[in-house]
């Protein structure tokens, strides 16, 4: 396998390597999912899903050398294929794929200093995860056409009036869960969602909170690139 043959060294080169591998994995789990599904025969040996820097993907056996040239993807993804709901299985593979992408990127950048690691993670974190892309597509296909068509309209309204804010997930989460938002509870006080109050969503755990409960105003929320709730940010929350 070509895997690390390009030997990326700079933050930009490793991010390009990451992006290519991510694109390949997303293709396998979305546009080319039927082909991917067919290749993951549970009767075969332990199979892995690889994303390559040239935007391609491959289902094959793991590397034979120990230790391998790069961290290896999840082993034996094919064994659970017929024992799980297809959507759930694809979501699980997507989560493991995200984990693998990060491990490869930070393995390649192991000699980076603190600022370089921070910059690499920031660049990576600006992209939706493979899991987010895969589950969003699946949910969009399963929702009615009316619901799908209302997503952009509603997200535009919310972003303009400032009532509903998440630095990355508001448009996606609110559009997909529009029917369920009457049941959304604040992660702090536990009360129901109210359209007249400002809410903010955590980009890590994806729970929603009253702005007042986490001391975030609409104006301040606009300057937050990635919001972490008190539970996810711990003692560092005050810096967000």
Topology of domain 144-239, CATH: Herpes Virus-1 (3.30.40)
Collect all residues with Cβ–Cβ distance below 8 Å to 16 and sequence separation of at least 6: 8, 53
The arithmetic mean of pLDDT across residues 228-235, rounded, is 77
Predicted local distance difference test score (pLDDT) of residue 183: 65
Render pLDDT for 122-147 as a digit per residue (tens, 0 to 9): 999 999 999 999 998 544 444 434 44
**What span, in angstroms and rounded, lies between the C-alpha atoms of 97 and 158?**
32
pLDDT of residue 218: 84
Q: How far, in Å, CA of 97 to CA of 59, rounded?
A: 12
pLDDT at 197: 81
- The mean pLDDT of 62-78, rounded to a whole number, is 91
Domain spans in the chain, listed from the N-terminal domain onward: 11-140, 144-239
Contact, 198 vs 218, CB < 8 A?
Answer: yes
Higher pLDDT, 69 or 179: 69
* Token digits of residue 154: 């509603």
What CA–CA distance (Å, rounded) separates 188 from 177?
20
pLDDT, tens digit (0-9, with 9 covering 90-100), for 190-221: 777 777 788 888 888 888 888 888 888 888 88
Name which of 114, 122, 98 is nearest 12 in CA terms: 122
pTM: 0.56
**pLDDT higher than threshold 70 for residue 184:** yes
Specify burial of residue 22 (Cβ count, 10 A radius: 0-12, 13-18, 19+): buried
The 3-state DSSP class for residue 233 equals: helix
């Amino acid at each position: 396998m070509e895997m690390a043959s390009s030997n990326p060294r700079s933050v930009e080169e490793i991010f390009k390597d990451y992006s290519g591998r991510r694109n390949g994995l997303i293709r396998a789990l979305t546009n080319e999912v039927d082909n991917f599904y067919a290749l993951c025969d549970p009767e075969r040996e332990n199979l892995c899903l690889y994303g390559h820097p040239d935007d391609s993907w491959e289902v094959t056996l793991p590397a034979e050398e120990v230790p391998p040239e790069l961290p290896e993807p999840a082993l034996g993804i094919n064994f659970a294929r017929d024992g799980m709901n297809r959507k759930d299985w694809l979501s699980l593979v997507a989560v493991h794929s995200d984990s693998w992408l990060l491990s490869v990127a930070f393995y390649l950048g192991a000699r980076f200093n603190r600022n370089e690691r921070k910059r690499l993670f920031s660049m990576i974190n600006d992209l939706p995860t493979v899991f987010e892309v895969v589950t969003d597509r699946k949910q969009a296909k399963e929702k009615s056409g009316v619901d799908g068509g209302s997503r952009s309209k509603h997200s535009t309204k919310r972003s303009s009036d400032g009532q509903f804010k998440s630095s990355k997930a508001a448009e996606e989460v609110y559009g997909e869960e529009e029917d369920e938002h009457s049941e959304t509870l604040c992660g702090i006080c536990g009360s129901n969602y109210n359209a007249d109050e400002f809410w903010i969503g955590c980009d890590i755990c994806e729970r929603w909170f009253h702005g007042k409960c986490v001391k975030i105003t609409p104006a301040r929320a606009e300057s937050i690139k990635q919001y972490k709730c008190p539970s996810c940010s711990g003692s560092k929350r005050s810096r967000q």
